[in-house]
Structure formats: structure tokens, C-alpha cells
A and B are shown apart, each in its own frame.
Chain A
Amino acid sequence: SGSGGEGSGSGDGDEPFKVIAFTSGNQTPIGAWWVKAVEAKADELGWDLTMIQGDFDFQKMNPAVESAIGQGADVILDGYTDVASIGSIVTAAKDAGIPIFAMDSGTEPTDAFAINITTDQQGIVDSTVGALDESLGGLEDKTIMVIGHDPHPGIRMRSGLAEEALVEAGATIAGGEIQKVASPATGRTEALAMVADFLTANPGGLDGVWVGWDDAALGAAQAITEAGATGKVTGVDATSEAIAGIQAEGAFLVTVEQPWPSILDSLIEHILAYQEDGTIPEKSFEAVGTTLVNVDNAADITPSDKLG
């Protein structure tokens, strides 16, 4: 397949397998790891890889990917880029008949991708809320703050699920709704101020903070520590800083490890199957399980920013 690249490969017949890979988040540690890991795999498998890094600038990234599509490819690999932001890429790929294999690129099944493997958001929520429940001795009548960040679909989804789960368990949501961090760049300071201000307005009124990602969770934990309060904080991502926080046994209670390397491995399996005989995965959406990181297993977890 592939619409025939210009001038690629001088040998007759067996041109190398052409892969376009793109990620919007190369300035995050996970994004950086992904780029390196994909490049290594491509080397190993002898792919002709075009790697496009978007730096969250879709205005720049999408045309670059589309023009690569225009030059022909066999497979497209999407890492961590929400399907919502790449409508034009999806269209271009469909038109060219090239399948997109994706990881963590949206929280719901979509026919945009041949497959999208992501983590099980409900599982993340179940384990973190469960840890809170356990640590606080039940959630009934407890006040829990939920901190989310809407622009990130994963965080948005699990924040919503967490809110539901907490309400169901009888907890009160602090502030009556999910607290929203506006910018990822200032997530930690925003969360710090939010929790600090809430604690002043409601002294002793916070039993826990459920946060959608570790960076902001670290700010929330710091606010609780500084206020001398007792609440517990949960995060998601398993960054080394969060793991260290958990090991310190302070306000930071648990975080969640998402198995990116194994997800990438199984994605590659799917691609190889496709390369072999054009097999398209049966299910276009797969949500894999995650590991809760608590003080017991913290030492054994590879932090997500140390994958590379």
C-alpha cells in the first residue's frame, strides 16, 4: 500500500515501510520519551520514519503531517494527540487510505483510528478514589476537592468520573464543582493558590484533594502541608517528584502509573501485523489497566519522566 513516495528507496520492489509519526507534546517528558522510543523502534525494524513534533501548536503541526501524508506513507503513528485537534489529519489520512495507529489519543472509540490504545480512565478513578476512601476511613460526609484541566481530554474525563464516584460515595465536592486549572504551565502554582485559599476560607474543611495530574497534585499537597492541614492528595502520572512525595508519607497519598512502554509495544505489534498482511485490529479502542502507586510499591515504579 502507500501512494508511492517520491524518490524514496532506490531499490526495486521492496521499498522500506514508510511511517509518519507525530506527537503534539514533545515538550513534556513523556512526549520526549515517546519520540526517542519510536525512533529506536523504527531503526530496529528498518522503517523509513518521518517524525513530526508539534509542541502543542496544531497550526504548525497539522500541515506538516498532512504534507508528509501527501508524499505517501504506509502507516501513521499518533502519540498523545487528541483526536479532536487533528481532524484535518484524519481527513487527509482517510483520503490517502492510510491507517492511523494511536496511543492515548482520545478517551472514546472513534473511527478515526485503526486503533487507539489508552489507559482505563475508570480504572484510574476507581483506584485513586479507593485509596482516598481507605486512607480517610470512608468518604461519607468528607469534603474532597477535585482539580481538573479541561483542555486535556484524559484529565477532563477522569476528573468528571472522579466527581461522580466521589459524590456516589457520599462525599461533598469542595466548591461545589470541579476546580479548573487554566494553564498547564502554571498548574502547580494555580493548584497551590486554590487549595490554600480554600483552606483559609474553610479552615479544617478539606479532607482530600483528587487531582487529575501530578504536577498540580504536588501544588495541592504543598498547600496542605503549608497550612498544617491533614488532607490527602492523589495524582496521576507517577512522575518522580510525585513518587518521592508518596515515599515521604506526607499529604501526597497515591498516584497512578500508566504503562506507556508496554502500550507502545502492543501498538507496534498491531502495526507489524498490518505491515505483514494488512490486518486492521478488530477493536478500534482499547483501554489498558494501570498501576496504583502507593508507599508500598513506590520504590519499584519507573517514574514516567525517567522512561527514556
Chain B
Amino acid sequence: MTVLNGQVEPAALDRTPALEARDIVKRFDGVHALENACLSVREGEIHALLGENGAGKSTLIKVLTGIYSPDSGIMYRAGEEVEFANVRVANRAGVVALYQELSVIPSISVAENILLGEQTPSRGGMVQGKKLRRRARELLESIHQRVPLGMLAADLSPVQQTMVAFARALATDARILILDEPTASLTDTEIKELFAVLRSLRDRGVAIVYVSHRLEEVFELCDRLTIMRNGQTIVTKDVADSHIDEVISTMVGRSPGELYPDRGTATTAVALSVKNLDGRRVKNVSFDVHRGEVLGIGGLAGSGRSELLRILSGAQKHAAGEISVAGVPLPHSPGVGRALNAGIALVPEERRSQGVILGASIQDNIAVANISAVSTLGLVSGARIADITGRGMKDLQIKARSSRQHVSELSGGNQQKVVLAKMLARKPKVLLMDEPTRGIDVGTKAEIYRLIRQLAAGGTAVITVSSELPELIGMSDRIVIMHEGQISGEVTADEADEEVLLAYCYGKADSHDNFS
């Protein structure tokens, strides 16, 4: 591996790159988001852009598409120096991006979402409605999606929203297509369809930049990769010449340990018991979790996992059923406050809309879930907030300038850690985590797995929902699978393999016995 500090490997220069960025510097208020970042992508390749959370990938993309103007650095489009004043200019130059965690406009229809702005078919300022729907349908069909065109985007599931946003990116005649963690909230069918589309685009000569924390995907899909660390480009090389461990160690600047820590030994004391729970999407669910146990919950998108966790955490009302913590039954639909006091804490699925207050500081975010803990007689103690924040930031290695930095300025992974920190400060008996590693880099993932284990070792019962089967198998002691709101199967981690789990995911509950 040729590590050239801040330099692109000479091999990359043999053809005129479709898009090249050299020595890009971008600072925010003292944060060096990019420090001599370089990227060079060729026509007809899928180019992975890798790096841990906060490495500067999203910032680089925003510079490449004219959203941020760099403090210094040069960009070339097909060998010509360019400056993109705004997104439109970049789009017209054929550079189009699907941005991280920004997808659809909820209040307008699917078709309108797909063909926004300059893409809207029009004549003389008038929208051509028929053409709009036809184009939108074609685009959706090209990614094998069937979403009603007239539906409001607000009514779509998260998966559908991502696919609609992807269709929008395809609507532009992109010569350079940049995708910032497109698969973070997708399940495997969509991922496969996405990959097929990306490959066919590549074959048509489109240059694709692909950001993902799922390295298996990168090795399956990409031709070359660029690794960033702390705002700098560390290396660009062919995927064929790379090994996954080496990529990881380059990303994090040290050699990777085991991704999944060793399992612990669960006790037999029941921490959480759920009996005959019924809700909108959840039907007759019963199970127990023990102290010190890690229970994984799998299933297809929409199978009701998130709703189950939301009911358990008191965030959503339910129709019937009983929940008890350490033998003590909770009142019906207790509300989040009482569930938290009883020891159930939820790390929700949608970080930005449910997990953190973006416009508030890290310490204020942590305080929100711990108001009673940091106050006496209704008065809040700044020292105690600083104390639990300091501890949380240290324990979870939150990367930030200070505890007063706004969460909106943190990278996705660090935002997720803030959510974890605020809930862990409650010292929950039962920790519910909905897709806790979505959008999180491998290094941080390993940290979170270790943290989960460590919590379990301390007696916490942990329930994690995940759509990634290897993750489910790797970190759980026991796995239950949901199908259309019901538990369709349960296996211990030792006997789990992906095939069995998949069968349960589709509700093929033929084989096993031990349903609770």
C-alpha cells in the first residue's frame, strides 16, 4: 500500500479524472473538517470514500457539490479547473449527490420529490404533469420500486424515502454521482437493487463516489477506494489490492481488534418480562430478557420491531399486554418518564429527529434525559451536568471540541454516542437500542459492541434491533425474529445462522419449538 500523505497515488493520474479535488481545506469555527483532502474519481468506476465518523467525508462531498466553498484547494472537472458556487452549478456540471440523512420533502408528493427544481418537466414555466409522472415512474421502476406517485412523502416508510431520494439523484443526468451512506437505512433487497443500478451506471461511464461504513459492501461493489482520516486523504488504491483489516487499520490509525467481543454469561434473573403485547403493528408478543443478557431482535423492515421498542419505552401507547421490570409490572402505557424511572431506556432509531436536539450543546442534550439527576429541589446544578457530561464523553470517547459544542456540528457517529451517553447516565436496567450502529464507522461499531457487552456484564439487560444479520449474530446472546408484528422464531446465538434467521424473517416458522 502506498501511503502518500495528502497526495493521490500516481496511478490515479494516468487518465484525466472525471472529477478531482486537490488539497481541499475547510474549517468550521476552529474545527479542521478538511485538511488537505484529495479525491480523484474516474469515469466508469465506483469509488469508495472511507473513513471513520468525523473523518470529513460528508464535508468533502459538500465541497465537491458547491454547498460549502473551501477555504483553499482546487477542483477539476474533466481536467478543467472549476469552482461550484452552488448546487445548481455543480449539478449542471454533472456532479450530483445524494446527501447523508437528508432525503425527502414530506409535504409534497413522491413524483414531485423525484423531479425537483430544474428536473421538473416543464414548458413555458408550466409543469407537464403527465411527463412528470411518467418520468418519475420510470425512475422508480429502474430501481424496482413501487411507490404510489401521488402519495405524500411523509407517508412513506424510511426505506421508501431513501429510495425516492435515490431516484431523485438518478433523475439528473449525473456524470459524477456521489452517494453518502445510501444504505444506512436500507434492507438487503433495496441494497441489491441499488447495487445493480450503480453497476449499470458505472458501465455507462458514470463515475460514482460511494460512502459507506459497511465494508463488506465496499468490497462487493467498488473498484477503488480512498481512505480519509482527520480531514486528510491517507490513501487511494484499487479494492482488489486491499484487504479489509488493512483498510480498517488505515481508517482508525491502528490495527483492528475483534469486531465482536466475547459473549458473557447471562443470569437467570428476569429483567424485563413482556406478556401478550398488542399494538398497532405488534401482535401478541411475549418474551423475557434476563439480567446480563443481550437480546437481538431481527426482522424485515416494517415487521414491527421499532414499534415494539417504542411501546416498551413508553413512547407509544399500546392496546393490551403487560410489561414488568424485575418482576414489578408497569402501568398500562406508562409514558416515557415512568418507563425511564422504572429502568427502561430507549436509544431511538432516528437519531436526528428523535435522538438529539441538534441546536443544543452536548451537555444540554445529556441533561435533557437526566433532569432529576442533576437537580435538587427543582434547581439544576451546572456542576452536576458538567460532571455527568464529562463522564459520558470520556466513557464513550465522544469526539468534540468541548461539551458545549452544538450537536449539529458533530459527525453522525458522535451524535449517536451523545444519545447513548444521555441514556446510559440513567443507569437503565433495560436498555433498548433501535439500529444502534446505523451510519457508524467500524471502529465506533466495535466500541458500541464492547459497550453493550460491558453493560451486560454489569447486569443490564440489552435489547438491540438490527437489520444486519451478521451484527445480530455477532453481538447477541439470543435472537428473536419478528414477522408482521409477531415473534416468528427464537434462537440462541450459538445455533444462529443467517439462513435460519432469514426463514424466520419471512415467517416460515416451521422448524423450531421454543416460542415464548
- Are any A and B Cβ atoms less than 8 Å apart in their complex? no
A residues whose Cβ falls under 8 Å from a Cβ of B: none
B residues whose Cβ falls under 8 Å from a Cβ of A: none
